[in-house]
Amino acid sequence: MSMRSTARPAKSSGTFNLGGDLAVNRLGYGAMQLTGPGVWGDPRDPDEAVRVLRRAVELGINFIDTADAYGPLINEQLIRKALHPYADDLVIATKGGQTRQGPGPSNWTPNGRPEYLRQQAELSLRHLGLERIDLYQLHRIDPTVPLAEQIGELARLQQEGKIRHIGVSEVTVEQLKEARTYAEIASVQNLYNLANRSAEDVLEYAEAENIAFIPWFPIATGELARPGGPLDAAARQHGTSPSQLALAWLLRRSPVMLPIPGTSRVAHLEENTDAALIRLTDEEFEALSSAV
């Protein structure tokens, strides 16, 4: 593998045509960490949060993922503050269908009622300062509402010109197939990383159907990155960080993969984005793949 110096490293990750007509650089940015503790409230350092977003664009990132539940609402408003008016090639993906009752991992409750999804999409348009959202994702399937009604409402918003493409998040292959019977699905966002490949079947289906696969928690490396572990050893050998190698592995894993590593610091953003410059050999990719 080799790394080279470039001003816009994200461009080296290659491109993917989201929904068949939106070309994005495959290494994007997930904005969730630009909120307070527990994904709640304002960021600890609002000025640094703005710097992170602006630096991301400078580094060639043109795919940013957010959600109305991050903050709540604050994340979308921060993106508008930092980047509006948006560059022509910048794709902002947001999500609706999760409610928040407070900070922390236990305070997320799906709400897929059509009227709620419509309300949240309209709010996202306002908070982001957009006339149309390029990618609007159902944040979680609400088990109390028929999926046909949840996707159907997003399809109506799409027909009205308020959504360009529809995505889903944290789904099984069967749920993804069902969603596709109600609307065109451009992306799926599931938990996936080098250490946790439980969504392998969803990735394989997405690749076969040319659906973007957006792995959340992409640089979780767990025991692999422990001192002396396989990821740590490989990173030392090649002068990179374990997280950079984990991202390089994701980019190599599939042409439909769109990793969105998040951070609240510019220095960490730059380190993550440099992962796009890493080229794994076949042997290195296989060695990392078999390390789990």
Does the pLDDT value for residue 5 go beyond 70?
Answer: no
Verify whether residue 70 is a known catalytic residue. yes
Torsion of CA 224, 228, 233, 239, to 10 degrees: 110
The mean pLDDT of 169-184, rounded to a whole number, is 98
Domain spans in the chain, listed from the N-terminal domain onward: 10-220+255-263
Active-site entry in 70, 86, 192, 205:
70
Interval 98-115: pLDDT, tens = 999 999 999 999 999 999
What distance in Å separates the CA atoms of residue 108 and residue 95, rounded to the nearest whole number?
13
Strands 212-216 and 133-138: unpaired
Q: At 60, is the secondary structure helix, strand, or coil?
A: coil
Domain boundaries 10-220+255-263, corresponding CATH code? 3.20.20.100
Note the pLDDT of residue 219. 86
The radius of gyration computed from the CA coordinates of the chain, to the nearest angstrom, equals 18
Q: At 163, is the secondary structure helix, strand, or coil?
A: strand
Note the pLDDT of residue 227. 83
Residue 175 backbone zone (phi > 0: left; psi -120 to 50: alpha; other: beta): alpha
Interval 48-97: pLDDT, tens = 999 999 999 999 999 999 999 999 999 999 999 999 999 999 999 999 99
Structure-token match 């308020």, residue found: 162
Mean pLDDT of the chain, nearest integer: 94
Note the pLDDT of residue 183. 98
Interval 12-60: pLDDT, tens = 999 999 999 999 999 999 999 999 999 999 999 999 999 999 999 999 9
Both structure tokens of 280: 């794994």
Q: Band of the pLDDT at 6, cuts 50, 70, 90? A: low
What distance in Å separates the CA atoms of residue 16 and residue 21, rounded to the nearest whole number?
9
